[in-house]
Structure 1
């Protein structure tokens, strides 16, 4: 993307040429639109607006020409984007991965989409999401490197599109793992920001107080440039964004000079960040497949060569309730019982948040306007709207405050775990083994057991590729940095420094698959039995923190 910015200003390319090239690849490789299932292609885009995209590209070219191709034009002018299916683009449908939301047309842009539009970015269309943004594995899209493998969720298409070269970059949304997983599984570079750094106004919510939006691209430098544009408070529509530093921390967009740019940085590998493929109590690296372990050890050595100190340290053992009274160990804690339902600490926080934004009422009102088949699917996912609303509204303020206190205690405990060892930020592998096939096998054989923790903590992460597995059908291997809230600049800078010195991994691109025979639109399909609805997702793979609690229980 940074190269495109230079080529646009040197008149070697036009925005129309770039956009047309992506549209041609979408025609060739995406497959039919409006399919929440296997469409034979990458299925990264659920729908596009070809005419509007080309019109936006022409307007970008006119802007560049009017300013004589100078740097006075915003950096993202003319750059084509995909936007997750849960994020509003004015005048277009957002469906959050299900035909149950057919007809859900946005009355205005989400705040971050408006910020991209102000830059002169080209909005190609919506990228495919897991049904109701509910799964971190995903089966609707095909992996950018091999369509037979899962793409990661819930921002499935947003993880696939930049690597399959169907868009320059994308916007994803995460409640629990939904940016980090598709970035990792497709070998993309993605940023999951701190809660509040990017406004979520205009995003179909899952868990307000957890939900964040962030960029996915082919390099951390590209993602950081996008992040620098979309961050900052929305004082009218998103009160959570007012908790972010004002002004927002300046995002680095270039590597530091010298052979040891990471000098003075202490990176910790938490030994209690356990994996799903091993017993609790086993350090994570002990569970990695041989090729993942080799890539991990090589990556650590490369960080040391760049000047960093990399240490193993305990981290925070969240199986102990004294360490984590909020989420994982706190999942079995009952703060109250409302209408026969036990209220855990996380429920005490998130259910009132949902109540206050009219979470169930909004769906109920929409369901009253659509055909019965759609309404039934919505009801099967959300349950009894009135009962859920009433139960959330009955949670006492004291119980809610106790949940918030426990969440803050978890944050303080984790910060102390870093401070005790002088750790600036942490290094983990999102996966310890190759992702599985879309059908006929285990989708995620070994992944971070506590992938929800960064969202409970409100802490940022950045994921980026560090290698490829050694199988006959190789997929990328990604690492991730994560640290305390609003340390994006530090973890992003370290990732940019790494990619500048070891560029082979983010410069890789998969070979093109066979073209798809037809990309005719399949709009207005009936709600299909896709095999992935919100109710079908195993709790341990859910992006919803309240459902994921079941796995911990």
Structure 2
């Protein structure tokens, strides 16, 4: 996750700007801190049998699964049941996805237009087929299906910034060529423990830096943006190139590609699942989450991901242990949302209209119609949907952390923003710039590209090291104050959780136009708050047929509540998430000016909180 921060009214102090903490002037938005993806042990503990029993009880009955024309159209929950009933094999499913990747993805290892979807940047074909064969053997040899791992035989894509043993992880750029993971990241290890088949890496924005993206093509029309930075992870499940994918978010990187492609994605609370083995952008903000076609599938995956990883990611020890049960099925009855109050924050400003303009008044006609219909559908399910102020973070007394113009003094007379006081020491502790410097020394052919991104490694490290613990503590105190202020805004209005549209107008073309014309200005705010979000489709526009997504978000560790509400909605209105796009025509890649792996990223669309802060200052 990541807080974007504030327009600054403070004077610039020579020798210590926020830009210098980035290492240099902002180039392509974003930044990666580790040269070699850190390995990690497998999950500390498997889910207890009671949890697995509850999840198994929530799976659909075989007789309730509709017959679908293609194997790849079955949802994960359906695949699990069909695999256990011997109606499908993992090899059959895996080969079906690989065949579609062969036909529709285009050439691998391309950070740019490859003529196809370009959702996968690399695939481990032999490894995936071997995993599928092993899953089939286990399915045949296990007498009781309830004893099988939950995701046994289900094929996944993994974002290019997440360690998969034996594969390169490049985080959207050939500047990390040679960065081979020696071990699986914790999340990948947990997926494997649950029986998942790992197909390979899905393409990411360069250095995980953009919420718009241009490397992949949108699942519904590859001439449009895929959202970023988890571009391929947003495209692959909807385009039927994998059953699901893992995304990573520092500021909008799960929610935006999910929304752009009409996927169902979960951005967890900070600490709900481990980020060990991820190429970090902002430690203490980064989170990993599932992207799938349905909320039910995403919830199944999240139930495997969630849980403590104290040895490798101490932040997971801040979550409730055990983590609250993640629902995977809708509640019964005509009014499952009775007693739930959902708030529409009127100060969650959109980029169109800006501060002071009610968000819904800025939506395009199709988006406004979908939004109004969605609110009516929620009310028909028993929810109370109300407008409320929310917390206006442009008001100084409301926000001492995220958008504040206040600066904290350092012993040498320079100043930093509260967000910088938190983020930079976090980077310093994990040797953020030192790791990249060592990697560049080991792979000198990558040195120039990495220095363009990170600037002077030594100067950035020294500047971050100037921030004393007392200033860092004050930054964290202000962050907690912001969290408390927003929680009070919900409590005072009697709101359980909130409803927003991540995108309020049709997304733009990948090349030659404005990529995002109307989106949540404070798309990084849930990350600054450490709060979770779940997004899912609620309609389609009438011009290109691109999806329209809504999102629920609420207090930290409220995943069970917001996931349950989304499950209830999708059970009652399955038409939106069940549709499949028409397969595109794969064409030869188009030669474009400039290096193929450079995306044009306006600073205001950056995932990096310091670049965002610089852009707003």
The verdict on a shared fold, with TM-score over 0.5 as the criterion, is yes
From 339, 348, 355, give the equivalent of 1:280: 355
**Map 1:280-359 → 2, pairs under 5 A:** 280-328=355-403, 330=404, 332-336=405-409, 342-359=415-432
Partner residue, 2:598: 531
Whole-angstrom CA distance in 2 between matches of 1:461 and 1:173: 13
* Cα pair 2:114 2:588 within 8 Å, conserved: no
CA deviation profile, 1:501-536 (whole Å, cap 9, x unmatched): 000000011011124579xxxxxxxx944331xxx5
Matched, 1:130 2:205: yes
Partner residue, 1:507: 578
Whole-angstrom CA distance in 2 between matches of 1:317 and 1:167: 40
Deviation at 1:12, TM superposition (A): 1.0
CA deviation profile, 1:16-61 (whole Å, cap 9, x unmatched): 0000000000000000000000000000000001000000000000
Partner residue, 1:200: 275
- Secondary structure, counterpart of 1:63 in structure 2: helix
From 554, 568, 589, give the equivalent of 1:483: 554
CA deviation profile, 1:339-375 (whole Å, cap 9, x unmatched): 8964110000000000001111110000001133x11
Deviation at 1:423, TM superposition (A): 0.1
Partner residue, 1:522: none
Whole-angstrom CA distance in 2 between matches of 1:316 and 1:96: 34
From 133, 137, 145, give the equivalent of 1:62: 137
* Cα pair 1:266 1:310 within 8 Å, conserved: yes
**Are the structure 2 counterparts of residues 475 and 176 from structure 1 closer, same or farther at C-alpha, using a change threshold of 3 Å?**
same
Partner residue, 2:494: 422
Partner residue, 1:523: none
* Cα pair 1:29 1:516 within 8 Å, conserved: no
Whole-angstrom CA distance in 2 between matches of 1:451 and 1:438: 20
Partner residue, 1:496: 567
Whole-angstrom CA distance in 2 between matches of 1:107 and 1:239: 21
- Secondary structure, counterpart of 1:273 in structure 2: coil
**Are the structure 2 counterparts of residues 544 and 421 from structure 1 closer, same or farther at C-alpha, using a change threshold of 3 Å?**
same
- Secondary structure, counterpart of 2:560 in structure 1: helix
**Map 1:17-416 → 2, pairs under 5 A:** 17-68=92-143, 70-328=145-403, 330=404, 332-336=405-409, 342-372=415-445, 374-416=446-488
Q: Name the TM-score, length of structure 1 as normaliser.
A: 0.96
CA deviation profile, 1:173-201 (whole Å, cap 9, x unmatched): 00000000000000000000000000000
Whole-angstrom CA distance in 1 between matches of 2:234 and 2:176: 22
**Are the structure 2 counterparts of residues 78 and 356 from structure 1 closer, same or farther at C-alpha, using a change threshold of 3 Å?**
same
Deviation at 1:276, TM superposition (A): 0.1
Deviation at 1:317, TM superposition (A): 0.4
* Cα pair 1:271 1:284 within 8 Å, conserved: yes
* Cα pair 1:272 1:317 within 8 Å, conserved: yes
- Secondary structure, counterpart of 2:224 in structure 1: coil
CA deviation profile, 1:144-196 (whole Å, cap 9, x unmatched): 00000000000000000000000000000000000000000000000000000
Whole-angstrom CA distance in 1 between matches of 2:212 and 2:400: 28
**Are the structure 2 counterparts of residues 377 and 425 from structure 1 closer, same or farther at C-alpha, using a change threshold of 3 Å?**
same
* Cα pair 2:339 2:383 within 8 Å, conserved: yes
Whole-angstrom CA distance in 1 between matches of 2:531 and 2:204: 23
Matched, 1:447 2:514: no
Whole-angstrom CA distance in 2 between matches of 1:495 and 1:193: 14
Matched, 1:549 2:613: yes
- Secondary structure, counterpart of 2:147 in structure 1: coil
CA deviation profile, 1:423-469 (whole Å, cap 9, x unmatched): 00000000110110001110000000000000000000000000001
Whole-angstrom CA distance in 1 between matches of 2:85 and 2:596: 49
CA deviation profile, 1:384-413 (whole Å, cap 9, x unmatched): 111111111110211111111110000000
Whole-angstrom CA distance in 1 between matches of 2:414 and 2:542: 48
Deviation at 1:120, TM superposition (A): 1.3
**Are the structure 2 counterparts of residues 514 and 464 from structure 1 closer, same or farther at C-alpha, using a change threshold of 3 Å?**
same
Question: Is the deviation greater in 65-74 or in 297-306?
Answer: 65-74
Larger RCO of the pair (alpha carbons < 8 Å, separation 6+) = 2
Whole-angstrom CA distance in 2 between matches of 1:278 and 1:432: 11
Q: Which blocks of at least 5 consecutive residues in structure 1 are unaligned? A: 519-526
- Secondary structure, counterpart of 1:443 in structure 2: coil
* Cα pair 1:80 1:121 within 8 Å, conserved: yes
Deviation at 1:338, TM superposition (A): 7.9
* Cα pair 1:338 1:391 within 8 Å, conserved: no
Q: Which blocks of at least 5 consecutive residues in structure 2 are unaligned? A: 1-75
**Are the structure 2 counterparts of residues 138 and 69 from structure 1 closer, same or farther at C-alpha, using a change threshold of 3 Å?**
farther
* Cα pair 2:174 2:597 within 8 Å, conserved: no
**Are the structure 2 counterparts of residues 442 and 517 from structure 1 closer, same or farther at C-alpha, using a change threshold of 3 Å?**
closer
Q: Name the TM-score, length of structure 2 as normaliser.
A: 0.86
* Structure 1 consecutive aligned stretches of length 4 or more whose deviation exceeds 6 Å: 338-341
